[in-house]
Amino acid sequence: MSERLDYTKTSPGGVKAFGSVYGYIAQSGLDEVLVELVYLRVSQINGCAYCLDMHTRDLIKKGVKIEKLALVQVWQEAGRLFSDRERAALAWAETVTRVAQTGVPDVEFEAASDIFDEKELADLTMAISLMNAYNRLAISSRRTPEAVIAAKA
């Protein structure tokens, strides 16, 4: 499958605006591995090959073990492999990403609020929303994953 559109070249102002939010999340105080796990889970739900490749690589660079990466999509069954904060973040990421189906119920909000303070939860929700937007850009433009580019070389 070939790339339809290179939005980084055709809309650099839009990419810069998204980058500003990405930069905000990076300095928000949320744990960087937790955020990357959320980015990976959102990308799994949305089926974004480009982002799956990128966030898997980023998590490996951050020292996350392959056993944990392999179980992100079934984190509920992974026992204590994921911390309480990671489990809460992944649950929140799933309900927010699937907003059309879930409506983000109060019980999910209360569970996330038990773990994260208001600022953390707001920042986490921004990170989830940002990744959903990035996924939509990458999927609709058919952005090519690094692994596919490397395999062609």
**Does 2 fall in a domain?**
no
**Does 13 fall in a domain?**
yes
pLDDT at 151: 87
**Does 1 fall in a domain?**
no
**Does 65 fall in a domain?**
yes
**Does 86 fall in a domain?**
yes
**Mean pLDDT by groups of 10 residues along the chain of 153 residues:** 88 96 98 98 97 97 97 96 98 98 97 98 98 96 84 82
pLDDT at 10: 94
The CATH number linked to 115 is 1.20.1290.10
Number of domains in the chain: 1
**How far is CA 128 from each of CA 7, 46, 50, rounded to the nearest angstrom?**
21, 12, 16
* Structure token pair of residue 93: 């990421």
pLDDT at 123: 98
**Does 129 fall in a domain?**
yes
Residue span of the structural domain in which 14 resides: 7-152
**Does 136 fall in a domain?**
yes
Residue 1 CA from chain centroid, whole number: 23
